[in-house]
């Protein structure tokens, strides 16, 4: 089971409270006034931008007739949401939305990713990550090593008893792109092969050059996170040259999931992908 993430706990708490509010027939503005909030402040609560306290959640649970085991579950989520995840220590370095993503990633049970041009961050070597980050003109040189450290810290989730199931779909071009130069790329490919040999929870699926155009989704990158709790939907995150952030619209998340399946269907199997990676390591 995934570790407890304050970000995921807060998300589940507000989703469950919103569902209960709607089940009781309250619109957001009316409910806010009944529990001592302004409509604007309650809207911030349901969007995860304002944190409830033990005192402020009391009237909420009372109005929603929440008691017994369900009350204990919601109070436990509230307590968990108050903790500080490791990513909070880097708040001066990474933005609020990216902190949110790292928090979601930390608490995910399964991760599906698609990258058309680069190895996903969770699978990058330090040298490969450094080459990518230092090439970003929006990042100051003084920040490079700090951001590399954050990326490597994220990878701790791949190891241990609570590691997630990770399936990364990449294009064959990713295995040839000389990011950091031949030595760095070779080290990255060796790292991928080693992960596939040692971790049965990690799968890399390569879309070969022989695949049809429909398998390559431009220069995009996206991630789909799934959680153990049945109360939580899939969380989407997408990146492009001009955008990077959460995908909050449920229909758009479904579109991403469909695109992912389409790409996965045209990728090589896990074992054949490993064979291709080994071939590129040998320089063939």
Contacts of 6 (CB under 8 A, 6+ apart): 80, 81, 82, 83, 84, 85, 103
d(CA 186, CA 280): 8
Residue 258 has a CB neighbour count (10 Å cut-off) of 10
pLDDT at 284 exceeding the cut of 70:
no
The pair of structure tokens assigned to 119 is: 């190895």
**Pairing mode, strands 110-115 and 235-239:** unpaired
Whether 233 has a pLDDT exceeding 90, the answer reads yes
pLDDT of residue 214: 65
Cα–Cα distance measured from residue 73 to residue 229, given in angstroms and rounded to the nearest whole number: 12
Tokens encoding 269: 């199997």
Q: What percent of the chain has pLDDT over 70?
A: 98
- Residue-wise pLDDT tens digits, 71-80: 999 999 999 9
Of 35-49, 107-121, 136-150, 207-221, the range with the lowest mean pLDDT is 207-221
Percent of the chain past pLDDT 90, that is, above it, reads: 87
Question: How far is CA 192 from each of CA 175, 195, 211, 232, 240, rounded to the nearest angstrom?
Answer: 10, 5, 22, 30, 24
Cα gap 94→128, rounded to integer Å: 20
Q: Of 160, 230, 236, which is closest to residue 2 (Cα–Cα)? A: 160
User: 84 is written with which tokens?
Assistant: 């500080």
Query: What is the sign of the dihedral through the CA atoms of 161, 116, 172 and 272?
Result: positive
249-273 pLDDT per residue, tens = 999 999 999 999 999 999 999 999 9
User: How large is the C-alpha radius of gyration of the chain?
Assistant: 21
| Residue carrying the six token digits 């407890």 | 4
The b/e string for 117-132 (b: 16+ C-beta within 10 A; e otherwise) is: ebbbbbbbbbbbbbbb
Average model confidence (pLDDT) for the chain? 94
Is 51 exposed, middle or buried (CB count within 10 Å of its CB: 0-12, 13-18, 19+)? Answer: middle
Number of neighbours of residue 248 by Cβ within 10 angstroms? 10
pTM of the model: 0.94
Is the alpha carbon torsion for 272, 276, 281, 282 positive or negative? Answer: positive
Of 138 and 275, more confident? 275
Confidence (pLDDT) at 215: 67
Report, as an integer, the average pLDDT of 85-108.
94
Residues 101-141 have pLDDT tens digits of 999 999 999 999 999 899 999 999 999 999 999 999 889 99
Domains in the chain with CATH codes? 6-81 (1.10.260.40), 93-281 (3.30.870.10)
Mean pLDDT of 19-39: 97
Both tokens of residue 26?
Answer: 């309250």
pLDDT of residue 217: 74
Distance CA 218, CA 248 (A): 21
Q: How confident is the model at residue 51 (pLDDT cuts 50, 70, 90)?
A: confident
Compute the average pLDDT of residues 221-228: 97
User: Would the pLDDT of 24 be above 80?
Assistant: yes
pLDDT of residue 273: 99
HSE of 165 in the Cβ direction (CA atoms, 13 Å)? Answer: 8
What are the φ and ψ backbone dihedral angles of 138, each rounded to 5 degrees? -85, -5
Angle, CA of 24, 30 and 36, to the nearest 5°: 105
The model's pLDDT over 164-213, given as tens digits with 9 standing for 90+, comes to 999 999 999 999 999 999 999 999 999 999 999 999 999 999 999 999 87
């Amino acid at each position: 089971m995934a570790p407890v993430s304050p970000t995921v706990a807060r998300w589940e708490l507000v989703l469950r409270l919103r569902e209960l509010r709607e089940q009781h027939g309250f619109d957001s503005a009316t409910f806010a006034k009944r529990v001592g909030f302004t409509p604007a402040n309650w809207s911030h609560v349901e969007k995860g931008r304002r944190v409830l306290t033990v005192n402020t959640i009391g009237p909420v649970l009372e109005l929603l007739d929440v008691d017994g085991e369900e009350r204990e579950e919601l109070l436990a989520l509230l307590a968990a949401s108050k903790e500080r995840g490791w990513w909070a220590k880097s708040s001066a370095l990474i933005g609020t939305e990216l902190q949110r993503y790292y928090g979601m990633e930390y608490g995910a049970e399964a991760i599906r990713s698609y990258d058309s041009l680069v190895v996903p961050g969770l699978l990058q070597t330090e040298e490969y990550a450094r080459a990518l980050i230092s090439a970003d003109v929006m990042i100051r040189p003084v920040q490079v090593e700090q951001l590399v450290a954050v990326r490597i810290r994220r990878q701790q989730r791949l190891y241990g008893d609570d590691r997630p199931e990770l399936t990364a779909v990449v294009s064959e071009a990713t295995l040839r792109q000389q990011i950091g130069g031949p030595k760095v790329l070779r080290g990255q490919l060796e790292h991928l092969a080693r992960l596939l040999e040692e971790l049965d929870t990690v799968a890399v699926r390569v879309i070969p050059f022989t695949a049809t155009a429909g398998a390559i989704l431009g220069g995009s990158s996206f991630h789909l996170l799934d959680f153990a709790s049945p109360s939580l939907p899939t969380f989407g995150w997408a990146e492009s040259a001009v955008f990077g952030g959460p995908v909050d619209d449920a229909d758009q998340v479904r579109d991403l999931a469909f695109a992912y399946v389409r790409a996965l269907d045209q990728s090589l199997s896990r074992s054949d992908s490993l064979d291709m990676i080994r071939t590129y390591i040998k320089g063939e």
